Structure 1
Amino acid sequence: MFRVIETFSGIGAQAKALERLGIKYEIVNTCDWDINAIIAYCRIHKGEIDTSACKEKSDEEIESFLRNTTLSMDGKKPITEYSFNRLTPEFRRLLYAAIKQTNNFVSITDVHGSDICEGVDLLTYSFPCQDLSLCGCWHGNKSGIARNAHNRSGMLWEVERILKEMHSCNRQLPKFLVMENVTNILSATHKRDFDDWKQTLVSMGYVNHIYRLNAKNFGVPQKRERAYMISVLCCGDSNKEELITRYFEENNLEEDLIAHRYRSRKFHLRDVLRLDYRKKKYREEANASQPNNTPSRVKIYQENDMLYDGKKINELYVNTVTTKQDRNPNSGLVTYDSGREGKSKWRYLTPRECFMLMGFDEYDYDAVVSDNPEFMKNTRLLSNEKLIKMAGNSICVDVLEAIFKQLIEMSKLVPLDFNASEYDRDELHRNHA
């Protein structure tokens, strides 16, 4: 049984990759404070949200529980008192049930080392990239992952805190850690802070290996390059460290032939685009993704790839699926004429198509939108924009599949059953007092 904790879990790309691999696994805990992602994750990976499990709980008990967690409406900042008070009792119950059903820690700032159970094989962390990305720099976010920045990307140091707390109380550390983020984390701008993080992990007994991987090399029709760091717990055993180092040298996923060997499938743009508008749901989603015909949208039309010109699909790798399609540049456009006055003769990718480009199945998307709850009076939870954002914030499932295959191979190659107390805690405190 491969036991996993997903921090910054989003809609659960990690769980989806493990499901695809067909191995026995257990998601011990998730960790995400965004109420949209909490609901979506539960729907994708647990099916219907089972509110009957909390039928004995009063509205007051549920409210008390939720108030003692750190929730967010947008994944950027904590929910305000005003917004919390506007949540309907029915939605609070739904949210409570989803949190319990997925063993969600909610905010990583509230997690302690003593909360992490023994025997975890893998902890994943894909902390926010806003203060690391080039786009963020253009908007003045230059603090990156500095320890004293106290920004969203600085959530990385919450992972450090949790691991240190586990270490201090002789709690067994996870055998593997997997980080995912934008490649700008590897740039000279952030080198000192990222080196600090890598050295912290080395002092805890981990061996780190960094990949720059593009989704298009793993059978996905999307150009999406991200940085991944795999950390393997060797606890100072030089023989095991050598075996792990050699393994990465011989099985380098950055090499095309090896990436091809590890990929699970290959799909094309034609497998993603939903162009049969005789189906009501596809037509409604296309309409919702069709912008007004404004001067700024004309510029978008002129400067972005046309994925479907009305006659044929241009089989190409789309640009990175980001948290917003109504932008320039974007992932690409589709010729579409709904006949509605004032609308452009084209549309953006729909949220369904974005989910599929991230490696999720169509039925995963259908599960998310199967019921759009009223979370405030006369206001539904899931808008087009929120769905696009959840896809853009996720990790490409097919890339994770390849990485997780390597973790399983390494588990067989090198016995990795250690206790944190076996490693020299004094070294950790000397380096990071």
Structure 2
Amino acid sequence: MNVLSLFDGISCGRVALDRANIKVSKYYASEIDKTAIKISENNHSDIEQIGNVNDIQSWNLPTIDLLLGGSPCQDFSRGATISNKVRTGLKGDRSNLFWKYLEAKHKFNPKYFLLENVVMPKEHEEIITMSLGVEPIKINSNLVSFQNRERLYWTNIPGVSPPEDRSISFQDYKDTNFDYCSQFKVNQTASRLKMWGDGVSGNCPNVTYRNKVNCVTLKQDRHKNSGLIEFDGFCRYLTRRELELSQTLNIGYTDSVSYNQACKAIGNGWTVDVIAHILSSMEK
């Protein structure tokens, strides 16, 4: 199978294909973020990076069997409302890259396609649905991980439905090693700890005792239940291992970059087991 992955990020699609036991002949990745590419190349020697998606018309590729993509979501998300006052949606500088995905779909005419994005205003969802000709499937990553992450998936792969709930609790995966956890201690003066905790004893009324964490982002102290944890007298962020597990990535997948770089890259990635579940329907 030849695969083209747009906005490839850290190649979660490649990991998902392996996990679904789908043989890949060639995996072409379009990505411009250097950190994401570094993580991808550190884990996969067979991926061919083909550059910026804006250069799509110059790409000379063989028959593409599967087109993957998670076009940038920032102009659809709630965060866009906070920073830009209004959600610019498909007209935004980043989320309008959906049209490049559609261009690739028309140019390469893959047998199967899969597009992922955030839950968005209905007007934008309907435009994407009409453009792709399929209704989206809403899946929350909390069915296969300890992360609440509701997303829309448009695909022509037949027979796809949400995965069964594995009832995975964060408490069963939470790190407890003191030396390791100490590396992720919160700087109280630089964080919003006082907003969510008391800022003195280290009390963090967030995910400390919860079964699920909220959608992982670079800023774990942005909202309640984002990622602050009370631990042995101090407050800490989610560890690198916990972040990787929240997206069902292999432990150590982001070891080639700094912790902050990993936070961003993981947050921009896919929940691997959700993608593997969807792709496995191709074999059926």
What is the TM-score when the length of structure 2 is the normalising length? 0.87
1:363 aligns with 2:259: no
Compare CA radii of gyration and give the structure with the larger one. 1
Give the match for residue 155 of structure 2. 230
Instruction: Give 1:177 shift.
Output: 1.1
Secondary structure at 2:156's aligned position in 1?
Answer: strand
5 Å-filtered alignment, 1:355-394, equals 355-365=244-254, 368-369=255-256, 382-394=257-269
Q: Which amino acid aligns with 1:135?
A: G
Residue-by-residue CA offset, 1:289-308 (whole Å, 9 max, x unaligned): 42224683211226964444
Tell me if the contact between 2:20 and 2:277 (Cα under 8 Å) persists in the aligned partners. no
Q: Please list, as runs of the form range in 1=range in 2, the aligned pairs for 1:288-307 lying within 5 A after superposition.
A: 288-293=184-189, 296-301=192-197, 305-307=205-207
Which residue of structure 1 aligns with residue 183 of structure 2? 287
C-alpha displacement of 1:319: 1.2
Query: What code does the residue aligned with 2:33 have?
Result: D
Which residue, out of 71, 75, 81, partners 1:127? 71
- Other-structure match for 1:175: 111
Q: Does residue 157 of the first structure (1) align with residue 99 of the second (2)?
A: yes
Residue 136 (1) aligns with residue 80 (2): yes
1:207-248 residue CA offsets vs partner (Å, 9 max, x unmatched): x13111011123x1111111111135xxxxxxxxxxx5xx45
Give, in whole Å, the separation in 1 of the partners of 2:177 and 2:276. Answer: 30
CA-CA distance at 1:114 after TM superposition: 4.6
Q: CA deviation at 1:181?
A: 0.8
* 1:318 Cα offset (Å): 1.2
**Whole-Å separation in 1 of the counterparts to 2:4 and 2:80:** 28
Q: 1:137 to 1:45 in 2, by over 3 A?
A: same
Alignment partners' CA distance in 2, 1:299 and 1:330: 12
* Structure 1 residue 130, shift from structure 2 partner: 0.7
Structure 1 segments of 4+ aligned residues over 4 angstroms from their partners: 302-306
Alpha carbons of structure 1 residues 5 and 136: separation in structure 2 relative to 1, 3 Å? same
Q: Distance in 2 between matches of 1:288 and 1:21?
A: 33
Summarize the Cα distance change of 1:24–1:144 in structure 2 as closer, same or farther, 3 Å threshold.
same
- State which of 276, 279, 284 in structure 2 corresponds to 1:404: 279
1:273 and 2:174 aligned: yes
Residue equivalent to 1:211 = 137
Change (3 A) 1:289 1:42: farther
Q: CA deviation at 1:321?
A: 1.1
How far did residue 107 of structure 1 move?
1.4
Alignment length, in residue pairs?
279
1:107 is the counterpart of 2:52: yes
Task: Write the letter of the residue equivalent to 1:353.
Answer: E
Instruction: Judge conservation of contact 1:209–1:231 (CA < 8 Å) in 2.
Output: no
Q: Is the 8 A contact 1:223 1:320 kept in 2?
A: yes
1:161 is displaced (CA, Å) by: 2.5
Taking structure 1 as the reference length, what is the TM-score of the superposition? Answer: 0.59
1:324 counterpart = 2:255: no
Amino acid at match of 1:25: V
The residue type paired with residue 275 of structure 2 is: L
Q: Deviations over 1:280-336 (max 9, x none)?
A: xx24xx33442224683211226964444xxxxx35111111232132235232223
Give, in whole Å, the separation in 2 of the partners of 1:16 and 1:163.
22
Q: How far has the Cα of 1:111 moved from its partner?
A: 2.1
Structure 1: gaps (5+ residues) = 47-100, 167-171, 203-207, 233-243, 254-258, 309-313, 339-344, 370-381, 410-433
Identity over aligned pairs, percent = 24
- Give deviations 1:34-83, integer Å, cap 9, x for gaps: 0000000111223xxxxxxxxxxxxxxxxxxxxxxxxxxxxxxxxxxxxx
- The code of the aligned residue for 1:23 comes to I
Runs of 5+ unmatched residues, structure 2: none
The SS at the match of 1:25 is: coil
Root-mean-square deviation (CA, aligned residues, Å) is 2.6
What amino acid maps onto 1:399 in structure 2? V
Residues 124 and 354 of structure 1: CA distance in aligned 2, closer, same or farther (over 3 Å): same
CA distance 1:44–1:266, change in 2 (3 Å)? farther
Aligned equivalents of 1:266 and 1:142: distance in 2?
34
CA contact 2:204–2:235 (8 Å) conserved in 1: no
